[in-house]
Amino acid sequence: MKLYMSNMLKILLWVILVLPLAACGHENPESAGSVQPVSQSPDGSYSVTINNYDREGNPLAYTYRQVPERVIITHPGATELLLELGLEKHILATIAPYGAPPAAVAEQYAKLNILKARYVPTQEELLELQPDMIIGWAHNFCDSELGEVKTWQQRGVGTYILSSTLSKPSPTLENAVYPLILDIGNIFGVQDKAASYIKKCRERIEAVTAAVKGVSIRKTLIVLQAHGNGTFSLYGSQYLTDNMVAVAGGENLSKLPASFIGPERVLAFDPDYIVFVSYSGNAAEDIQDAAAVAQLRQSRELQSMRAIREGNIINIPFNVVNNGGGRAIEAIEKIARRLYPERFSLQQKGN
């Protein structure tokens, strides 16, 4: 199988992997997704203020005077989260998924209105649809794409940027994933569902950390994406994947991100495992593990790597790696089980 990626996907990957790093160097606020409690205004109406950001990571609060009913989402992970919380009736339109959605929401996702643009709608399309809220990637909120956050808010349209897409140091489950779920719960008045969702996520993570606790020598990894034509990207500490690897009991050797690099930069590392970020190009399905391993093994530039020779390749689809929501838990579990299968066997026996 040839390593291939369309020009459109390369553009998508460039804006995801490169543009966030080139954004203005503002420090990330200490707390993400903080919220003022839902309150009743003097006339008894709904009111909730959410502390979010502009595209550069500057804190920006917005007060919702009513529950959004015409939401446009340009991040598939956020779409999946709203579906998980039973909010499909609030979604006016979204983009097609980057890969197979979770089975629990796949049917609902297929019924949603899909925007004309494959990745980023034009401002003209958005204005025509008349949303009351836009949720998306940080770097897309600029004049040449979705438009600026403050411009939309001045029009009375709420905006929400996923914290995991900001150019910031060390996004984690605690400062990026859980606050997202909490904020969506508060905005849409489904706090109980959001709290239950977070509780289940935390329980799954507790099971992973209990299993890998006491590992004396952590397995080393790199998080690698192949773009074809001998070019690759490495996910560093500015991406949520770094925390995902750490929670799973691994050590990411590539702390500095490197986008669209040659094989010599990848060969500088000798990891025990490679987390391979695969992409199928099909909104309905992901590349399966065996096919992903075969794909990477056929990369002649990297065949000398120990992890590839030994088949120590962990396939995590692109749409899961960049989900920014609850599917991060799914990836952590998979990575941990591949790194330390014996510990999970003992855990199962203990139960």
Predicted confidence (pLDDT) per residue in 139-186, tens digit: 999 999 999 999 999 999 999 999 999 977 789 999 999 999 999 999
Q: What are phi and psi of 32, to 5 degrees?
A: -105, 145
Mean pLDDT of the chain: 88
What separation in angstroms does the CA of 254 have from each of 88, 303, 350? 38, 19, 35
Q: In which band, very low, low, confident or very high, does the pLDDT at 44 lie, cut at 50, 70 and 90? A: low
Q: In which band, very low, low, confident or very high, does the pLDDT at 26 lie, cut at 50, 70 and 90? A: very low
Q: Say whether pLDDT at 4 is over 90.
A: no
Q: Say whether pLDDT at 37 is over 60.
A: no
In this structure, the number of other CB atoms found within 10 A of the CB of residue 89 comes to 8
Structural domain includes residue 66: yes
d(CA 287, CA 231): 19
Mean pLDDT, residues 259-266: 95
Structural domain includes residue 110: yes
| 97 and 151 inside one domain | yes
Owner of token pair 């339109």: 93
d(CA 60, CA 52): 5
Beta bridge partners of 52: 60
Q: Could you read off the pLDDT of 106-126 as tens digits, one per residue?
A: 999 999 999 998 889 999 999
Residues constituting the chain: 351
| 50 and 186 inside one domain | yes
Query: What is the per-residue pLDDT for 24?
Result: 35
Q: Work out the percent of the chain whose per-residue pLDDT is above 70.
A: 86
| 99 and 157 inside one domain | yes
| 130 and 222 inside one domain | no
- Start-to-end C-alpha separation, the chain: 42
Three state DSSP letters for 132-196? CEEEECHHHCCCCCCCCHHHHHHCCCEEEECHHHCCCCCCCHHHHHHHHHHHHHHHCCCHHHHHH
| 135 and 244 inside one domain | no
- Of residues 235, 329, 326, the one with CA closest to residue 277: 235
Q: Could you read off the pLDDT of 171-226 as tens digits, one per residue?
A: 999 999 999 999 999 999 999 999 999 999 999 999 999 999 999 999 999 999 99
Answer whether 211's CB lies under 8 Å from 343's CB: yes
Mean pLDDT, residues 46-61: 95
Q: Say whether pLDDT at 71 is over 50.
A: yes
Q: In which band, very low, low, confident or very high, does the pLDDT at 23 lie, cut at 50, 70 and 90? A: very low
Structural domain includes residue 5: no
Angle at which helices 103-110 and 76-84 pack, to 10 degrees? 110
Structurally, the chain folds into a number of domains equal to 2
25 vs 14 pLDDT, higher one: 14
Amino acid letter at 281?
A: G
Counting other chains too, the contacts that 171-176 makes at CB distance below 8 Å and 24 or more residues apart are: 171/238, 171/239, 171/240, 171/243, 172/240, 172/243, 173/201, 173/205, 173/243, 173/247, 173/328, 173/329, 175/28, 175/31, 175/32, 176/32, 176/240, 176/324
Q: Say whether pLDDT at 240 is over 90.
A: yes
CA 251, chain centre distance (Å): 20
Which class for 228: exposed (0-12), middle (13-18), buried (19 or more C-beta within 10 A)?
middle
Structural domain includes residue 246: yes
| 106 and 64 inside one domain | yes
* 3 state DSSP class of 85: coil
Q: In which band, very low, low, confident or very high, does the pLDDT at 256 lie, cut at 50, 70 and 90? A: confident
| 162 and 187 inside one domain | yes
Lowest mean pLDDT among 52-66, 161-175, 328-342: 161-175
The CATH number assigned to the domain holding 278 equals 3.40.50.1980
| 68 and 129 inside one domain | yes
- Of residues 68, 44, 40, 42, the one with CA closest to residue 190: 68
Q: Could you read off the pLDDT of 273-330 as tens digits, one per residue?
A: 999 999 887 777 899 999 999 999 999 999 999 999 999 999 999 999 989 899 999 9
Mean pLDDT, residues 72-78: 97
d(CA 317, CA 153): 34
Q: Say whether pLDDT at 41 is over 90.
A: no
| 332 and 277 inside one domain | yes
| 50 and 116 inside one domain | yes
| 220 and 274 inside one domain | yes
| 333 and 230 inside one domain | yes
User: Structural domain of residue 228, as residue ranges?
Assistant: 216-350
Q: Could you read off the pLDDT of 288-303 as tens digits, one per residue?
A: 999 999 999 999 999 9
Query: What is the per-residue pLDDT for 284?
Result: 77
